[in-house]
Amino acid sequence: MKKITQQLTRILFALLMGGTLLGSGCSRDFLNPDPLSFYEPNTTFNTKSGLEAALAICDRHLKLYWMTDHNEMLSLGTEYIFSELMVAAATDKRNMLADVANMLTPTSDDSGPQNNLDRTNSLWYFWDETYKGVMYANTVLHYVDDVEELDEATKNMFKGRAYFHRAFRYLALVFQYGDVPLVTKLLEVPKQNYRTTERDAILQMITQDMEFAVEWVPNQSQIGVIGMVNKGACRMLLAKCYLAIGEYAKAKEQTDILIDQSGYALMENTFGTFNDGGEPQTWPITRNVIWDMHRSENKLIAANRELIMGMPNRGAEAESFVKMLTMRILYPFVFDNRLQAKDGRQALLNIRRNTADYNPQYDYMRAFGRGIATFRPTRFHMTGLWYVNGVLDETDLRHSSETGNWIRMEDYRVNNRASTEFGEPLTLFNPDNGTLLCSDTIRRWFDVPHYKFFLDDPVAEANIVGSDGHRGATNGGHADWYLYRLAEAYLLRAEAKYYINPGDPTIKDDLNAVRQRAQCSQLYEGAVTIGDIMNERARELYWEEWRNVELKRVSLCLARSGRPDEWGNTYNLANFDKQSGTDAAGGSYWYQRIVHYSMYNKGPIQIDAPGNSNPNYTMDKKNMYWPIPNSAITANMRGRLSQNYGYDGYDPTTPKWDNWEDAVADESSASD
């Protein structure tokens, strides 16, 4: 199967070069057709096994959004820095994407997957690679009807899975970029006269496709193999599509079925294998259900009844999986002299296990990894988010240092034996004179949801000399991951109920079901706001959901439904996504969350860093949508793609398709 997958990757890449609005990592262009003389696609894809291999490529491609984008990046971090929960933190890089309002342009998306240590975002990935995923799905749809060995039901199953993959990508594209080109076919000749299709038209198409998928894709119990698209995953995606087009009752119906009729259940107790952490003498873990649920070895097992769809990424053939560098990219950069003890000495050292100075009580590299903090959480995510009913919930397992699930900087202890503070907790300020002991608080002083980000790497763990420059258990490992689990269905149902009737007293019950599983002492009472729902999503689904996409989807839902946000603001469907400026008033719900809760638009921050000593985090209302890459616009030489509001090249008179049927019909027309 591995050889088949590798061969199919080459074939699909060649198909990709047949003339669609995609680019490879090096040439982002409407590429000329390749003669493809080394294979015959009609032979490759005329069997069931060929289609299965094509879908396997779709499945593998899906997980790459979470896993890695070359070198020292995680693609999903870009989604999170366009939210209220995270910002860029690689302060040694002068081009760090912090001043978004001024830095984000149609030509500023980092230019592809080059192994460039100066890169600080993956914007390129969400255009190039997402359209590549669309093409993989279109490959299945193009050939499935010609596979003679399949009966009609099996063909429809293949179509349903391909529709899922295509709809997942387009749901992301329309909330990242707004109106985008619609590509649904494999073309025999290059096409250079695309026209943009409006967001709502694409949403209507993918909703129809997902209705078909829910009908024909089997349940997980009928499939056996975990990681393939199943009916539950299709229902979850269909519910999101219904929410996006304003069919709130239909969205609720899909989540009702997931919660009450599909055999899933929230995990309430510990289960599976207990992983005691990288070095339990340094950081002991008290076993709890939240810790167990997010261990790689437990996510995809049969005992996990909460799993709807997961992404396999671990096993014996490690070379066929992808590293998840969470312990490298998302933990603070602590092994540096910019973090000091009270006596002025470096507080934390990365000490190899084969040295005389080694002490397993202070092995933070093995326990927490060797972080470099490409991204960091906002203060809101670390503290304000965890208040409910105006009270900090002390028992929420998702925010618990006592169990080992959450790491605060004060949990570290000075491990430099040369310091008079050896064994004492870190402090941000010297209590004797008020001196700041961390000169770069952006990159080196923040809390971490350890239960989400701690990932084993047995190969690195076996390297007992591993330390700075030698790599031990430093980066994270191969890890299975969630795509959808039942907790999100509860949160989507609460959202649907809010749009139908904000006074529905059962909305709080859906949120409280998730909170009770986390052993929270503060439960929602009375009326619930959309802010309460989005806060619970942030607590429960951090680094699982695409936070930027979900915030913008909810922004559309509020504008479409007329329901108020938590501050009483209402939004106009005609202009909620067509405003500019960095002032606090106006914009979309996405923008309001950012200006209320993040460090954007608060002014420069004084730190001591080699590249960015005075970062100014800004976000503009126009950044509601990312700019359409200039490379895609200029490559469409015989047509016009629409640029988004507020960016160079924006022209409101640029013609667009306002229904998906016309856009699909136009696809078959070759360039003039």
Which amino acid belongs to residue 224? G
Q: How much is the pLDDT for 622? A: 98
Q: What is the pLDDT of residue 321?
A: 84
Q: How many structural domains compose the chain?
A: 1
The whole model's pTM is what? Answer: 0.94
Judge whether 346 lies within some domain: yes
Burial degree of 589 (CB within 10 A; 0-12, 13-18, 19+): buried
**Average pLDDT for residues 294-314, to the nearest whole number?**
96
Quote the pLDDT of residue 339. Answer: 97
- pLDDT score recorded for residue 468: 54
**Contact present, 549 and 82 (Cβ < 8 Å):** no
Q: How far apart are the first and last CA of the chain?
A: 42
Domain membership of residue 299 (yes or no) is yes
- In this predicted model, which residue has the larger pLDDT, 506 or 465? 506
Average pLDDT over residues 653-663: 97
637 versus 523: the higher-pLDDT residue is 523
The predicted model gives 616-639 an average pLDDT of: 95
Residue 62 lies in a domain: no
**Rounded mean pLDDT of 618-640?**
95
The mean pLDDT of 648-670, rounded to a whole number, is: 93
- Residue 261: inside a domain, yes or no? no
Query: Could you give the CA distance from residue 102 to residue 70 in angstroms, rounded to a whole number?
Result: 26
Q: Residue 671: pLDDT above 50?
A: no
Whether the per-residue pLDDT at 73 is higher than 90: the answer is no
Position 473 pLDDT exceeds 90: no
Q: Which stretch, 248-262, 473-487, 601-615, has highest mean pLDDT?
A: 248-262
Cα 212–216–220 angle (5° rounding)?
125
Work out the average pLDDT over 218-240: 96
pLDDT on residue 658: 98
Task: Provide the pLDDT for residue 348.
Answer: 97
Predicted pLDDT at 224: 86
| Confidence category of residue 529, pLDDT binned at 50, 70, 90 | very high
What pLDDT is stored for residue 20 in this prediction?
Answer: 40
Residue 428 lies in a domain: yes
Supply the pLDDT for residue 316.
67
The answer to the question of residue 602 being in a domain is no
Q: Tens of pLDDT along 107-142?
A: 987 556 555 556 778 898 999 999 999 999 999 999
CA angle, residues 549, 652, 587, in degrees to nearest 5: 45
519 by Cβ neighbours in 10 Å (0-12 / 13-18 / 19+) ranks as middle
Distance CA 359, CA 442 (A): 29
Cα dihedral value 87, 91, 96, 100, nearest 10: 50
- What amino acid is encoded at 554 in this protein? V
- Give the confidence band of 322 by pLDDT, cuts at 50, 70, 90: confident
pLDDT, position 146: 94
Residue range 163-192: mean pLDDT, rounded? 93
Contact 530, 561 (CB under 8 A): no
pLDDT of residue 69: 55
Q: Count how many residues are written for the chain.
A: 672
In the block, tokens 């992983």 appear at 275
For residue 23, is pLDDT > 70?
no
Arithmetic mean of pLDDT, 508-516: 98
The answer, yes or no, to whether residue 659 has pLDDT greater than 70, is yes
Burial of 95 (0-12, 13-18, 19+ CB in 10 A): middle
pLDDT at 115: 52
Digit-coded pLDDT (tens) for 354-372: 888 899 999 998 899 889 9
470 pLDDT band, cuts 50/70/90, is: low
Residue 272 lies in a domain: yes
pLDDT given for residue 16 in this prediction: 37
**CB contact at 8 A, 582 and 63:** no
Average pLDDT over the chain, rounded to whole? 90
Q: In whole angstroms, what is the distance from residue 558 CA to residue 570 CA?
A: 7
Question: In terms of Cα–Cα distance, which of 202, 244, 21, 208 is closest to 660?
Answer: 202
Tell me, yes or no, whether 430 lies in a domain.
yes
Round to whole Å and give the CA distance between 190 and 207.
28
266: helix, strand or coil? coil
- pLDDT tens-digit series, residues 74-83: 899 999 999 9
287 CB neighbour count, 10 Å cutoff? 12
Average of per-residue pLDDT across 646-660: 97
**For the segment 144-170, what is each residue's pLDDT rounded down to a tens digit?**
999 999 999 999 999 999 999 999 999
**Residue 209, pLDDT above cutoff 50:** yes
Token pair, residue 534, equals 């989005």
Q: What number is the average pLDDT over the span 484-502?
A: 98
The neighbour count for residue 474, using CB atoms within 10 Å, is 25
Say how far apart CA 405 and CA 395 lie, in whole Å: 12
Task: Give the structural domain span for 338.
Answer: 267-305+325-373+394-477
